[in-house]
Amino acid sequence: MADTPEQASAPASATVDELHDAVLRSLDDDQALDIVSIPLAGKSSIADHMVIASGRSTRQVASMATKLADRLKQDHGKLVRIEGLPTADWVLIDADDIIVHLFRPEVRTFYNLERMWAFGDEKAVAAG
């Protein structure tokens, strides 16, 4: 039985590493600031990676979040959940195995997620 046109054109399911790379590439393409990736595999059941980045303004944060969601859907068939888009001070993008936090710089400094998610002497990996 032949695939329907929708099935034939649907992107293949991406691996966690492919999604992680796509997230980092998208943020880098959109000139995100201070991109940090924190490995969570084996340390937390919420995700395998947490990516934290900043935008210069609420407009840039909202734009990066929207573009990232669109790119993951188009290129990898991944539907994501987005919280915080209307105010865009802190936008959370849940792509299942990858959690992305996008902040305005002042908000990122206030919440300091990198410190909260540091595990012992292991350091978060700066990306980009």
pLDDT score, position 105? 96
Tokens of 14: 């991406």
Tell me, what DSSP letter sits at residue 17? H
13, part of any domain: no
61, part of any domain: yes
User: How many domains are contained in the chain?
Assistant: 1
Please give the torsion angle defined by the CA atoms of residues 76, 81, 86 and 91, in that order, rounded to the nearest 10 degrees: -80
The helix or strand, by DSSP H or E, that contains position 51, with its residue range, turns out to be strand 49-54
66, part of any domain: yes
What b/e string do you get for 24-40 counting C-beta neighbours within 10 Å, with b at 16 or more? bebbeebebeebbbbbb
* CATH classification at residue 56: 3.30.460.10
65, part of any domain: yes
Which pairing describes strands 49-54 and 98-103: parallel, antiparallel, or unpaired?
parallel
Per-residue pLDDT of the chain (128 residues; tens, 9 = 90+): 444 444 444 445 679 999 999 999 999 999 999 999 999 888 888 899 999 999 999 999 999 999 999 999 999 999 999 999 999 999 999 999 999 999 999 999 999 998 887 755 344 455 55
Shortest CA distance to 93 belongs to which of 121, 55, 41? 55
Q: How many CB atoms lie within 10 A of CB 114?
A: 17
In the numeric block, the tokens 């001070």 are attached to: 89
80, part of any domain: yes
pLDDT score, position 120? 52
pLDDT score, position 117? 78
Q: Which domain holds residue 111?
A: 30-126
12, part of any domain: no
pLDDT score, position 24? 97
pLDDT score, position 3? 44
8, part of any domain: no
